[in-house]
């Protein structure tokens, strides 16, 4: 359900590397050529292009992109060209240096909207890049003895069963546990954190469905009603990222374009991280919730090569 389109007749990585080199060496950078190549390649293909480019010209493709481009367009292209695990590790590290709830979303996105193997790769990349573990740095920023710190560290260190096995009776039991915690406004209970941080995603989706069927409400609605705390907000975000990532990322895009000014960092992160995964579902959710299209809002709030690159990754409007 990604939206990245690849040519039917795919050039070799060497041919793509040569086209990018030509784009860098003209009288001014050929941004269109860069978008045409990198915007229409998968992560594996982009990695092969970067390797071919380094072999052909003895320089890093990322370093050259940094020197040739500027502004939000440069940021978007570089994030897209990076190895996805390194990209997410850098996004988490950057988020930990900032203040505000929106930056904490990045940690939950990586922990909950990723596959188990990708999360492991991000943790490994983080250690290599920053000489510390991701959970160590999260615990340094958010006191690990407090509920929010416990939630984040346990989400990050979990390796969920990647299959689709579901135990319905267990889901009913744990839905009842969650309901009791929510009704008593004890969201920080250990069993709440345990269930969310250890169960596989199919099991959790069944648990949330049992909650809805058994108590007539969605769990995230009850959590919102249980309090306006930061912990409650992060718990809701984690549930969305586990069960319905498209809901969370539609909200990320919407919040980045509504109001005074555009939050380009959040907009770029949402588009780049979901383009190869579920951008079609994000677009559908966006239209359903906000009665407009994601493409319309991106065009309305961005411009130039940055806009053209985002639209390339987002893909065409649905019929």
3-class secondary structure per residue, 101-165: HHHHHHHHHHHHCCCHHHHHHHHHHHHHHHCCCHHHHHHHHCCCCCHHHHHHHHHHHCCCCCCCC
Q: Is 68 annotated as a binding residue?
A: yes
Distance CA 246, CA 274 (A): 9
Task: Look at the domain 84-157 and name its fold.
Answer: Annexin V; domain 1 (1.10.220)
Comparing 84-157 with 246-314, is the CATH topology the same? Answer: yes
SS3 282: helix
Architecture of domain 246-314: Orthogonal Bundle (1.10)
Query: What does the pLDDT read at residue 260?
Result: 77
Distance CA 66, CA 233 (A): 36
Query: What does the pLDDT read at residue 108?
Result: 96
Predicted structure pTM score? 0.94
Which residue ranges make up each domain of the chain? 13-69, 84-157, 168-243, 246-314
Do the Cβ atoms of 102 and 94 come closer than 8 Å? no
103 HSE (CA, 13 A, CB side): 14
Between 61-68 and 13-25, two packed helices, what is the crossing angle to 10 degrees?
30
Digits of tens for pLDDT over the chain (319 positions)? Answer: 899 999 999 999 999 999 999 999 978 899 999 999 999 999 999 999 999 999 999 999 999 999 999 999 999 999 999 999 999 999 999 999 988 788 899 999 999 999 999 999 999 999 999 999 999 999 888 877 788 999 999 999 989 999 889 999 999 999 999 999 999 999 999 999 999 999 999 999 999 999 999 999 999 999 988 778 899 999 999 999 999 999 999 999 999 999 778 899 999 999 999 999 999 999 999 999 999 999 999 999 999 999 999 999 999 987 5
Query: 168-243: what CATH class?
Result: mainly alpha
Q: Is 26 annotated as a binding residue?
A: yes
Radius of gyration of the chain (CA): 21
Question: Tokens for 156?
Answer: 């990050």
Query: What does the pLDDT read at residue 265?
Result: 95
Q: Is 28 annotated as a binding residue?
A: yes
Q: Is 261 annotated as a binding residue?
A: yes
Query: What does the pLDDT read at residue 319?
Result: 57
60 HSE (CA, 13 A, CB side): 8
Sign of the alpha-carbon dihedral angle for 109, 111, 115, 121? positive
Q: Is 301 annotated as a binding residue?
A: yes
Query: What does the pLDDT read at residue 77?
Result: 98
Q: Does domain 13-69 have CATH number 3.30.70.360?
A: no
């Amino acid at each position: 359900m990604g939206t990245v389109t690849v040519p039917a007749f795919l050039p070799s990585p060497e041919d793509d590397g040569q086209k990018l080199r030509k784009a860098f060496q003209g009288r001014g950078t050929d941004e269109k050529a860069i978008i045409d190549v990198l915007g229409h390649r998968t992560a594996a293909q982009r990695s092969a292009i970067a390797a071919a480019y380094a072999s052909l010209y003895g320089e890093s493709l990322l370093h050259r992109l940094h020197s040739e481009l500027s502004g939000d367009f440069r940021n978007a292209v570089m994030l897209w060209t990076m190895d996805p695990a390194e990209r997410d590790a850098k996004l988490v590290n950057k988020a930990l240096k900032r203040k505000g709830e929106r930056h904490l979303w990045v940690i939950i996105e990586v922990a909950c909207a990723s596959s188990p193997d990708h999360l492991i790769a991000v943790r490994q990349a983080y250690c290599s890049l920053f000489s510390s573990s991701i959970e160590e740095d999260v615990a340094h920023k958010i006191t690990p003895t407090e509920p929010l710190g416990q939630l984040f560290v346990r989400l990050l260190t979990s390796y969920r069963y990647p299959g689709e096995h579901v135990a319905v009776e267990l889901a009913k039991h744990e839905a009842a546990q969650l309901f009791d915690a929510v009704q008593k406004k004890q969201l920080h209970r250990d069993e709440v954190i345990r269930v969310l941080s250890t169960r596989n995603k199919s099991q959790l989706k069944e648990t949330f469905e049992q909650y809805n069927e058994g108590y007539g409400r969605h769990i995230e609605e009850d959590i919102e009603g249980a309090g306006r705390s930061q912990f409650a907000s992060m718990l809701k975000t984690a549930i969305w990222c586990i069960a319905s990532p498209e809901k969370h990322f539609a909200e990320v895009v919407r919040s980045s374009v509504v109001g005074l000014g555009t939050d380009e960092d959040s907009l770029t992160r949402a588009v780049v991280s979901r383009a190869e995964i579920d951008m079609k579902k994000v677009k559908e959710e966006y239209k359903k919730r906000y009665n407009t299209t994601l493409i319309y809002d991106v065009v309305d709030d961005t411009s130039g090569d940055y806009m053209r690159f985002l639209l390339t990754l987002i893909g065409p409007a649905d019929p």
